[in-house]
Amino acid sequence: MENPVIDLKGLTKCYGSLKAVDDLNLKVEKGEIFGLLGPNGAGKTTTILMMLGLTEPTSGKALVCGIDATTNPILVKRKVGYMPDSVGFYENMTALENLVYTGKLNGVPGNEAHRRGLDLLDLVGLGDSANKRTSVFSRGMKQRLGLAEVLIKRPEVIILDEPTLGIDPAGVKEFLDLIRQLSREQGLTVLLSSHHLHQVQMVCDRVGIFAAGKMQMEGNIHKLSQALFADDSYSVSITVREPLPASWEHSDGLRNIRDVQGLRITENLVQIACSPDATPDIVRFFVAKGLDVMGVHKREFGLDEIYQKYFDNHLIEHNADEKSRSIFKRYINKK
Amino acid sequence: MPMKSLAAFSKGTSIKSELAADSTTTFRVVVDKEMTDHIRSWRLILLLALLALTFFGALYVSLNNIRSVVSNAQDPDSTFLYLKLLTSTDGAMPPFHVFLNFLGPLLGIALGFDAINSEQNNGTLIRLMAQPVYRDNLILAKSASALILVGTLFFTLVLLMIGAGLYITGVLIEPVEVLRIFTFTVVAVVYVGFWLSLSILFSIAFKQTATSALAAIGVWLFFTVFYQIVVNLAVAAFIPRQTIQTEAEMVGYNEMVLNILRLAPSQLFSDATTTLLMPSVRSLGPMTMEQMAGAIPSPLPFTESLMVVCPQLSGLLAATFLCFAYSYYLFMRREIRS
């Protein structure tokens, strides 16, 4: 990466003795969609605030578009659109008025801001509500309006903090599609924080798992899955027409295929763990043995598993977990 | 969300933000928006009604007994018809400038007590701060918009008063009266400005709007009701009356009490307005017989009155700036979260 759009160098933020963000290094390239994942209180929002110069890092540097966000926040804010996790609007103003106000604050002249505002409201699916006061808006509508507001200044980078909160499932898909489309067609760099793993998986080029103030892992999902599930990255399930006996005569033959590490047979379903991907060999084996293959399903490990496995392996939060478990037990016993 | 209308985003040039807003335009945009908010709010309408009511009430009372006041040859100020309109009363109702002593703080507090914390509670502050807006510009714009409104309001009322006076009495207004009345209006705006900046300070210091409103009203009540009592009690406790022997000591004693009372902004305001609206007032402290000897009770020229109120005016301005500077200090490095 030669010219990262977002470049965090040793970013640290302490609140008293608590280290909210601890020596964070991160580079995000132009046009990339980066997902910042982490449990509550991991320091995601604090990191974002430091990127916008809304809070000062204790040490380290946050460079956005090559500009130091701490010393030159105004320049950064011209180029970055930020949508906070709980986005609020002036309730006595209409959606369009809110947008036009933001536009004007960014130096867009009034009539141009008006035009852009209307276009953007159409884009996010709020075209019919342009002249409604935002006090009647639902959470999801506000979230959509938030995206329009981010785009009205035509930013180079957009930072979205929990962008899909409160949007209905269909809306989430549209929302994420739009973000991806913007990134692909306009070269927009996107950084989004979330704990909705599926959604992050849908749009992000790269993700970083962020916990206890540190970037624990970063890379694309494929890479993360390889790193964590080095033993059994792939799981192939094959369904055959006839149930197989428990002691199947070909099971040894199947095991002998290169890369196959284990298998389990339950009636007509054969589950095979392999690394790397050996699906074609396995299918060929079944066909050669004259079995009727009804279905082949390859399961790649998703973010859910990665996330789960990660926190199982590292027990980052094991103290907190234990505590809550014991509280839970006490509560149950009392009942 | 459809693929169709992405053109909306890319229309024109690329996404580069080609427009760099400088700080004066953003300042004006914020002022515009704040003024619109104020004008549309019920709060301002109520305050306006209250102020208009007291103003026209006071004007009605003074118009009713203006004839007797102006024909009173004993009074050196009797030639200033328009100043009399503002200050004379039949005793049933205080004159307008005394009313303003109470209403000014209310106006300032009402326009400023939720300036910052309501935005924070609504989640709009963080959005605003993510735009290229300087933080000090935001506070400045908030107070400027309220002061522009208050200024417009006061000047309108005063011009209405002059117009009504001209229409009813048919007496031409003296230029010096115009000067005095306009200076009075400026002092009144500065006085409201002090309370405005104090309440904006509280709106930054306290997270809840109710707390900041209460704190500001508390300060106001303290200065209007309790301050005088507290000062008199304290002074009497520290310097018993019996220890005062000579006349010089008495003068010094009174002077000291008055100076302590002048720490209250309302005292500064009433000193300043009294001097400006009653040209015969030549000193705000006690005067000895020697100082008075040979003085003819006559109105002071405008510049002399202005000299007398100069310390009061600067005191009010200084207090305003102090509040403003402290709000700036609090707000500049604060971390803003939603």
pLDDT along chain A (335 residues), means of 10: 81 86 87 84 85 88 88 88 88 91 89 91 87 88 89 90 82 85 87 80 83 79 68 72 76 76 78 75 82 78 67 54 62 62
Which residues does chain A have within 8 Å of residue B9's beta carbon, measured at their own beta carbons? 119-120, 123, 151, 154, 182, 186
pLDDT mean over B164-192: 89
The confidence score (pLDDT) of residue B9 equals 55
DSSP element (H, E) containing A254: helix A251-255
Of B293 and A200, more confident: A200
To probe the interface with B, which of A106, A134, A193 has the most B CB atoms within 10 Å? A106
Residue B140 exposed, middle or buried by CB count within 10 Å (0-12, 13-18, 19+): middle
- A148 to chain B: closest CA residue: B9
Question: Comparing A48-62, B50-64, B123-137, B240-254, which segment has the lowest mean pLDDT?
Answer: B240-254
Number of H helices and E strands in chain A, helices first, is 12, 14
Q: Beta partners for A160?
A: A83, A192
Q: Answer yes or no: do A56 and B33 touch at CB < 8 A.
A: no
Of A299 and B160, more confident: B160
The confidence score (pLDDT) of residue B205 equals 93
Q: How far apart (Å, rounded) are the C-alpha atoms in residues A303 and A307?
A: 6
Residue type, B167: Y
The confidence score (pLDDT) of residue B4 equals 43
SS (H, E, C) chain B: CCCHHHHHHHCCCCCCCCCCCCHHHHHHHHHHHHHHHHHHCHHHHHHHHHHHHHHHHHHHHHHHCHHHHHCCCCCCCCCCHHHHHHHCCCCCCCCHHHHHHHHHHHHHHHHHCCCCHHHHHHCHHHHHHCCCCCHHHHHHHHHHHHHHHHHHHHHHHHHHHHHHHHHHHCCCCCHHHHHHHHHHHHHHHHHHHHHHHHHHHHHHHCCCHHHHHHHHHHHHHHHHHHHHHHHHHHHHHHCCHHHCCCHHHHHHHHHHHHHHHCCCHHHHHHHHHHHHHCCCCCCCCCCCHHHHCCCCCCCCCHHHHHHHHHHHHHHHHHHHHHHHHHHHHHHHCCCCCC
The confidence score (pLDDT) of residue A318 equals 47
A149 contact B CB<8A: yes
> Scanning the structure block, which residue is given the tokens 């009034």?
A110
Q: Which residues have a Cβ under 8 Å from the Cβ of B211 and sit 6 or more positions away?
A: B202
The vertex-B230 CA angle with B229 and B235, nearest 5°, equals 100
Q: Answer yes or no: do A105 and B10 touch at CB < 8 A.
A: no
> Scanning the structure block, which residue is given the tokens 């709980």?
A86
The confidence score (pLDDT) of residue B55 equals 85
Q: What ipTM, to 2 d.p.?
A: 0.82
Q: Tell me the pLDDT of chain B averaged across its residues.
A: 84
Of B20 and B60, more confident: B60
Q: In this complex, which of A88, A89, A185 lies closest to B6 when CB atoms are compared? A: A185
Q: Beta partners for A94?
A: A133
User: Coil, helix or strand for A261?
Assistant: strand
The confidence score (pLDDT) of residue B222 equals 92
Please report, for chain B, the start and end positions of each structural domain, with discontinuous segments joined by +: 23-286+299-332
The percentage of residues in chain B with a pLDDT greater than 70, rounded to a whole number, is: 89
List, for residues B103-128, the tens digit of each pLDDT value.
899 999 999 999 999 998 888 999 99
- Evaluated on CA atoms A127, A128, A131, A134, the torsion sign reads negative
> Scanning the structure block, which residue is given the tokens 């002036």?
A90
B4 contact A CB<8A: no
- A179 to chain B: closest CA residue: B1
Which residues does chain B have within 8 Å of residue A122's beta carbon, measured at their own beta carbons? 5, 8
Nearest CA to CA, how far is A138 from chain B (Å)?
14
Q: How far apart (Å, rounded) are the C-alpha atoms in residues A157 and A188?
A: 6
Q: Answer yes or no: do A104 and B10 touch at CB < 8 A.
A: no
Is the bond preceding B265 in cis, omega lying within 30 degrees of 0? no
pLDDT mean over B24-43: 90
pLDDT mean over B151-164: 90
> Scanning the structure block, which residue is given the tokens 């080609």?
B18
pLDDT mean over B250-256: 82
The confidence score (pLDDT) of residue B1 equals 45
Q: What phi-psi label fits residue A63: left (phi over 0), alpha (psi between -120 and 50 degrees) or beta?
A: beta
Q: Answer yes or no: do A84 and B122 touch at CB < 8 A.
A: no
Q: Are the beta carbons of A293 and A239 closer than 8 angstroms?
A: yes
Which residues does chain B have within 8 Å of residue A92's beta carbon, measured at their own beta carbons? 37, 40-41
Q: Are the beta carbons of B267 and B105 closer than 8 angstroms?
A: no
Residues 170-229 of A with CB under 8 A from B: 174-175, 177-178, 181-182, 185-188
The confidence score (pLDDT) of residue B18 equals 46
The vertex-A214 CA angle with A213 and A217, nearest 5°, equals 145
Q: Beta partners for A125?
A: none
Q: How far apart (Å, rounded) are the C-alpha atoms in residues A99 and A121?
A: 9
- What DSSP designation does A86 have? S
User: Coil, helix or strand for A122?
Assistant: helix
List, for residues B13-31, the tens digit of each pLDDT value.
344 444 455 778 889 999 9
> Scanning the structure block, which residue is given the tokens 């018993």?
B240
- Evaluated on CA atoms A65, A69, A72, A76, the torsion sign reads positive
Q: Answer yes or no: do A154 and B8 touch at CB < 8 A.
A: no
